[in-house]
């Protein structure tokens, strides 16, 4: 099966998570992604949180599948020359260095554009260009805090809380992938490359859109009727943390199921969506609630929503989370079990769909990773193991026209 991005060559000058997540996605879809890494050490994640001594850590292997690895010291004259050759032959350069690092290396946007006017230069930074924090180095949780996610996540009586989901890192990488693909289509129209920049703060803000909606509603009316604070609690002038309340206007909560006393994940998420109220009452054996004026509308329910959740929890007490969902799904009630990572790793449906995949690795044996969450009718991304450090250095140099002797000299000078 041919892959849509076949023939697109990408210089992957990324590290840690945000950039690698972007280029990995493009590699799955057929791009030739050449990961450029510092000789000797490579991407810092190769050695971070190792579970097998001396083997690439899962942090690296799970973000760098389907790529080739070229070691290159881009601060030596010889290394710079190799990079220049690569730039001339490539379609995209992706980087997520600290602000100014690429410029200090001598590869400003102007220089790259001069070397290859068709090149798309894609960058991740913590904050956007011109922002008053644009000199900062940024990691995941910093972005979650600066992007509004932390102030709106957690419980009202606790501190701002970050999410386990990589809203700052992988999410920014996904935004960048969209930017790169857009620029590639644009290049088809104009023949020219361009600079594509995504900041981690902006990417988090983009996912916190509904919280900005809520800020404006709060400014206007002084309360937010779907938050647990309504109608008994107090609102200040900023969007509060709403615990596990549903963000889209449907009240919902995480509810205990059978076994919660010993199993930290024996819970379901239960949503009380307006149109599902009748089936909910039937499923719970409470048909009298359907027409009771204290329960019949969302507005009538809100003042005692936690009593309703308590009644549902009583109904759940003798059902496992899976049994509960199996009953509720028959009534078309939006709900799901709270799944642990162990359950996700072993879920047969996720294995069958290719979302959780096992891939071979030269040093580790087989490891588990997340495959493509995007499914196509005409493409089944095949996930291959991540490259060893410098595994493809000689191969790539010879593709660039270097002779065996020249390659040997580059090794001797420690430029590759
Ligand atoms: N050859 C020679 N030098 C190399 C190189 C190579 N192949 N690859 C990297 N370097 C150099 C860089 O040029 C830089 O040198 P300089 O500081 O002298 O200019 C140096 O290595 C360190 O790079 P830097 O990006 O500053 O790494 P760091 O470990 O200090 O910071 C981050 C890490 C992630 C905080 C930082 O890169 C950053 O803020 N990136 C943007 C936001 C981001 O992506 N955050 C991470 C999300 S997972």
Question: What is the mean pLDDT of the segment spanning 389-410?
Answer: 97
For residue range 159-204, list pLDDT tens digits in order.
999 999 999 999 999 999 999 999 999 999 999 999 999 999 999 9
Can you give the pLDDT at residue 299?
87
**Domain parsing of the chain, residue ranges:** 7-204+344-411, 250-332
At a CB cut-off of 8 Å and minimum separation 6, what does 100 contact? Answer: 135
- What is the rounded distance in angstroms from the CA atom of residue 24 to the CA atom of residue 6? 14
**Residue of 169, 237, 263, 326 marked active site:** 169
For residue range 299-318, list pLDDT tens digits in order.
899 899 999 999 999 999 99
Give catalytic status of residue 134 as yes or no.
Answer: no
Dist. CA 331 → ligand 1 center (Å): 53
Can you give the pLDDT at residue 1?
65
Q: Is 140 labeled as ligand-binding?
A: yes
Instruction: Using a pLDDT cut of 70, give the percent of the chain over it.
Output: 100
Dist. CA 387 → ligand 1 center (Å): 20
Strands (E) in 143-266, as ranges, are: 195-199, 252-256
CA angle, 245 then 250 then 251, to 5°: 40
Whether 250-332 and 7-204+344-411 are alike in CATH topology: the answer is no
Question: What is the mean pLDDT of the segment spanning 332-361?
Answer: 97
Over the chain, what is the mean pLDDT? 96
Question: What is the mean pLDDT of the segment spanning 123-127?
Answer: 98
Query: What are the start-end ranges of the H helices in 90-208?
Result: 101-104, 109-115, 140-146, 170-190, 200-207
The CATH code of the domain at 250-332 is 3.30.1540.10
Q: Which atom of ligand 1 is nearest to the CA of 44?
A: 29
- Pocket lining for ligand 1, CB < 6 angstroms: 16-19, 36-38, 72-75, 96-98, 101, 104-105, 124-126, 137-139, 169
CATH class of 7-204+344-411: alpha beta
Q: Is 364 labeled as ligand-binding?
A: no
- What is the rounded distance in angstroms from the CA atom of residue 301 to the CA atom of residue 294? 6
Report the predicted TM-score, pTM, of the whole model to 2 decimal places.
Answer: 0.96
Please say whether the dihedral angle defined by the alpha carbons of residues 70, 75, 76 and 80, taken in this order, is positive or negative: positive
Atom 33 of ligand 1, nearest CA residue: 98
Question: What is the mean pLDDT of the segment spanning 32-47?
Answer: 97
Query: In a 3-state reduction of DSSP, which class is residue 335?
Result: strand
Q: Is 139 labeled as ligand-binding?
A: yes
Q: Is 269 labeled as ligand-binding?
A: no
Dist. CA 353 → ligand 1 center (Å): 36
Instruction: Using a pLDDT cut of 90, give the percent of the chain over it.
Output: 96
Question: What is the mean pLDDT of the segment spanning 99-114?
Answer: 97
Dist. CA 256 → ligand 1 center (Å): 45
Can you give the pLDDT at residue 406?
97
């Amino acid at each position: 099966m041919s892959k849509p991005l076949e023939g697109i060559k990408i210089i992957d000058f990324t590290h840690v998570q945000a950039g690698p997540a972007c280029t990995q996605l493009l590699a799955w879809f057929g791009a030739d992604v050449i990961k450029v890494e510092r000789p000797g050490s490579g991407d810092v994640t190769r050695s971070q949180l190792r579970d097998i001594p001396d083997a690439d850590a899962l942090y690296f292997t799970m973000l760098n599948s389907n790529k080739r690895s070229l070691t290159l010291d881009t601060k030596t004259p010889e290394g710079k020359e190799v990079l220049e050759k690569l730039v001339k032959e490539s379609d995209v350069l992706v980087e997520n260095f600290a602000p100014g690092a690429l410029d200090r290396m001598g590869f400003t946007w102007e220089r790259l554009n001069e070397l290859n006017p068709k090149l798309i230069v894609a960058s991740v930074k913590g904050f956007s260009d011109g922002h008053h924090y644009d000199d900062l180095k940024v990691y995941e949780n910093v972005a979650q805090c600066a992007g509004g996610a932390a102030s709106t996540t957690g419980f009202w009586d606790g501190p701002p809380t970050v999410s386990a989901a990589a809203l700052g890192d992988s999410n920014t990488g996904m935004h960048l992938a969209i930017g790169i693909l857009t620029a590639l289509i644009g290049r088809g129209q104009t023949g020219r490359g361009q600079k594509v920049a995504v900041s981690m703060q902006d990417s988090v803000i983009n996912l916190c859109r509904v919280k900005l909606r809520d800020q404006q509603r709060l400014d206007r009316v002084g309360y937010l009727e779907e938050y647990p604070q309504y109608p008994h609690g107090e609102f200040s002038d900023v969007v509060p943390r709403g615990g596990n309340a549903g963000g889209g206007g449907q009240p919902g909560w995480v509810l205990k199921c059978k076994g919660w006393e010993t199993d930290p994940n024996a819970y379901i998420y239960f949503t009380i969506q307006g149109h599902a109220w009748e089936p909910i009452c039937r499923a719970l054996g409470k048909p009298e609630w359907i027409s009771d004026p204290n329960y019949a509308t969302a507005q009538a329910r809100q003042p005692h929503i936690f009593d309703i959740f308590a009644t549902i929890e009583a109904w759940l007490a003798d059902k496992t989370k899976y049994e509960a969902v199996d009953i509720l799904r028959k009534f078309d009630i939006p709900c799901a079990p709270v799944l642990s990572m162990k359950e996700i790793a072993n879920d047969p449906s996720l294995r069958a769909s290719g979302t959780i995949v096992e891939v071979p690795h030269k040093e580790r044996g087989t490891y588990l990773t997340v495959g493509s969450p995007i499914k196509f009718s005409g493409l089944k991304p095949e996930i291959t193991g991540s490259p060893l450090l410098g595994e493809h250095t000689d191969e790539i140099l010879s593709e660039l026209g270097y002779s065996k002797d020249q390659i040997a000299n580059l090794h001797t000078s420690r430029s590759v």
